[in-house]
Amino acid sequence: METTITQDIHRSKSLSDFIQKVELTNFQPLFSEQKRTNSFKLLSQLQFPTTKDEAWKYTRLGKISSGNYQLQEGTKESIISELIENLEGTILVFVNGKYAIELSKIHPEVGVSISPIHRVDKAWLEENTSIGKNQEELFLLLNDYFAQDGVAIEIEKNTQSTQTVQVLNYITENNSLVATRNAIVIKEGASIELVMSYYAENETSSFSSHITEITIENNANFTLHKIQNENSANLTIATEEIKQGKDSTITLHTYTLNGGLVRNNVYANVNGQNSESNLYGIYLLNEKQHVDNHTTIDHQVAHCLSNELYKGVLSDQSTGVFNGKVFVRKDAQKINAFQSNANVLLSDLASMNSKPELEIYADDVKCSHGSTTGQIDEEAIFYLRARGISEKNAKLLMIDAFIGEVIEKNTNSLVKDKIYSLLQNKQEQL
């Protein structure tokens, strides 16, 4: 017995300890007991990755692994002001990871089924979750174990949905552990747009695990706007696993405005010819915020296009990470893949680590990547000041122009307006 105890001390960062520490009050697991037992078994053999793991070289998880978390109940009384007004469509609200029926509103439309995922039948859940093998096993298993709810969307064949679905995740309590699992299936020739926003009440702390699995069938079209605007004590690991069919298009906008530690993993498996993948992102960081964008675009077949544009502004002691991978598999000829990452550092204590990677196994391709890190052009500031614009406003103008390039990629004007209004608040802090 004694030996096992000492062993446990040595493995204090082991996941089984982490899991057992979590208080499960009123827990309604999404997945079956069998699946969860299995996940737990696998998890207890794993440990949180350290900076020695290549994928986590610049992101430390100590804050997450040392935290004490609880599954929290909580309510939010009034309609939440964070919702985008005038946007027509279904609204699903999750408070601390649980479905808040009183705040949600289903907008009925033919061919479009949207519901909280705990209500869908087991077979559908089984079929449309854990669809890819790219995700890091540990965080997938962790989500399997703790997930309570999320959103399930299925768009029937050839349905061009006119609504924009809004999913709002809100954290109200301290030490919350939030795990959501979203499954989205866009059938052949169908299309829809979705806004997923993440907010937290001031001075709450949390650890969130969000996994969104997206299947886009042939000739389908999907746009996802992700707005991350939590607080400095909210830690998030979010993953989008995307499967793309022939002639399909995915556009993913990631707006990271606030968050203590935000890790975004995007895996796009492009497995149909003539498809298009667009990943756009901005991150504006201050204080000690840390944002880590990891994207992987895996071109498995020929004649595809991918665009990636990520821009960041970092001030105070914030740190940013960008790791973009583009794979072009053997025989995936005629691929055009473009990747770009640009950063502005506003303070000497801020730091940026960028790692754009290309791995190419086919010859008839056009692939490029670029990465820059610098500061606001002094001469441009001087030009503006000479014309009577204060230094502060000149700076803001330059930042606006810098990240504006990414925001203008968004074609939904209501979402765009919301981003601009959120940006105004954020820029004051930079």
Partner 1 sequence: MQEEHVVAEKVSPYNLKIPMGYTENELAQDLQNQEYKFGFTTNIESDQAPKGLNESIIRFISAKKEEPEWLLEFRLNAFKTWQLMSEPTWAHVHYSKPDFQDIIYYSAPKQKKKYESWDDVEPEMKETMKKLGISMEEQQRLTGTNIAVDFVMDSVSVATSFKEKLAELGIIFCSFSEAVKEYPELVKKYMGTVVPTTDNFYAALNSAVFTDGSFCYIPKGVKCPMELSTYFRINEGGTGQFERTLVVADQGAYVSYLEGCTAPQRDENQLHAAVVELIALDDAEIKYSTVQNWYPGDKDGKGGIFNFVTKRGLCEKNAKISWTQVETGSAVTWKYPSCILKGDHSIGEFYSVAVTNNYQQADTGTKMIHLGKNTKSTIISKGISAGKSHNSYRGLVQIHKNAQNARNFSQCDSLLMSDECGAHTFPYIECKNSSAKIEHEATTSKIGEDQIFYCLQRGISEEKAISLIVNGYCKEVLNQLPMEFAVEAQKLLAISLEGSVG
The residue ranges that bind partner 1 (CB under 8 A) are 54, 330-331, 333, 343, 345-348, 350-375
Number of neighbours of residue 299 by Cβ within 10 angstroms: 29
Q: Which residue has the tokens 């990755």?
A: 49
Nearer to partner 1, 220 or 279 (CB): 279
Nearer to partner 1, 44 or 333 (CB): 333
Nearer to partner 1, 199 or 402 (CB): 402
In Å, what is the CA distance from 303 to each residue of 233, 361, 362?
44, 15, 12
> Cβ distance 369 to 323 under 8 Å?
no
CA distance 134 to 112: 28
Parallel/antiparallel/unpaired status of strands 206-216 and 234-244 = parallel
Across-strand partners of 234?
A: 206
CA distance 211 to 121: 19
Q: Which residue has the tokens 């559908």?
A: 124
Number of neighbours of residue 209 by Cβ within 10 angstroms: 24
CA distance 354 to 220: 32
Question: CB 135 → partner 1: shortest distance, Å?
Answer: 22
Question: CB 328 → partner 1: shortest distance, Å?
Answer: 8
Nearer to partner 1, 62 or 370 (CB): 370
Question: CB 296 → partner 1: shortest distance, Å?
Answer: 14
Residues sharing a CB contact under 8 Å with residue 69, sequence separation 6 or more, in sequence order: 21, 22, 23, 175, 176, 177, 206, 207
Question: Which pair of tokens denotes residue 87?
Answer: 């946007």
Question: CB 346 → partner 1: shortest distance, Å?
Answer: 6
Question: CB 343 → partner 1: shortest distance, Å?
Answer: 8
Question: CB 390 → partner 1: shortest distance, Å?
Answer: 21
Question: CB 132 → partner 1: shortest distance, Å?
Answer: 22
Question: CB 61 → partner 1: shortest distance, Å?
Answer: 19
Nearer to partner 1, 116 or 312 (CB): 312
In Å, what is the CA distance from 345 to each residue of 52, 202, 385, 427?
26, 26, 20, 14
Nearer to partner 1, 136 or 154 (CB): 136
Question: CB 12 → partner 1: shortest distance, Å?
Answer: 26
Of 258, 312, 315, 282, residue with least CA distance to 430: 315
**What's the N-to-C CA distance of the chain in angstroms?**
54
% helix / strand / coil in the chain, to the nearest 5? 25, 40, 35
Of 234, 213, 218, residue with least CA distance to 117: 213
Nearer to partner 1, 27 or 361 (CB): 361
Nearer to partner 1, 28 or 368 (CB): 368
Nearer to partner 1, 231 or 286 (CB): 286
Amino acid making up residue 237: I
Maximal C-alpha separation, the chain: 77
